[in-house]
Structure 1
């Protein structure tokens, strides 16, 4: 057995599993889209749209460090299609919440990613 515990699953199947699982850990009114990153096989792109009057859209880069652990980076936050300052308390609270949900989704998919 190799020491390196790398991700050994098909990226498209992984993106589809995420697309099915992520909505189950988010608020019911939020919408999520998950896509395989075309440049990196261990990366998924996650877009979460908030419901309600704020109309925020959050883009995350979710990198599999190994078959279990994901590193989540905020790429962009938009409101009605315009970039917004992601340093505000409201945005930071939402980002922290979504990062937690993304990690939760990764945990739920351990049986899929860690074989």
Structure 2
């Protein structure tokens, strides 16, 4: 990351902006939690709980590569509090959808991260 292309926003402010903005990009009934990653000053921890009877919870790590680009990594998927096989078609589809929504939110927040 070059000096002119690093984040110029406090990590907690960034997490708060994500917490406020990300719900606009996922299903209305999904629950969203965004926290700063204590182990990585460029990272955020995102938990998305899918609506409905599926009761899936997805944990992602979003890391800012630079002020415009994020890398999204799936950390864990749980159902009713237990880890599940992440390779099923249903879960892979949800992971792809959520990853896309996370990227869309990052684009919407460029106004903050690219200042």
* TM-score bracket, shorter-length normalisation: over 0.9
Normalized against structure 1, the TM-score is what? 0.96
The aligned runs of 1:1-115 (5 Å cut-off) are 4-115=4-115
Number of residue pairs matched? Answer: 114
Normalized against structure 2, the TM-score is what? 0.96
Structure 1 gap segments, 5+ residues each: none
* Moved beyond 2 Å, runs of 4+: none
1:72-94 Cα deviation digits (max 9, x unpaired): 00000000000000000000000
1:41-77 Cα deviation digits (max 9, x unpaired): 1000000001111100000000000001000000000
Structure 2 gap segments, 5+ residues each: none
Q: Cα distance, 1:3 vs. partner?
A: 5.7
Q: Cα distance, 1:12 vs. partner?
A: 0.1
| Root-mean-square deviation over aligned CA pairs | 1.0
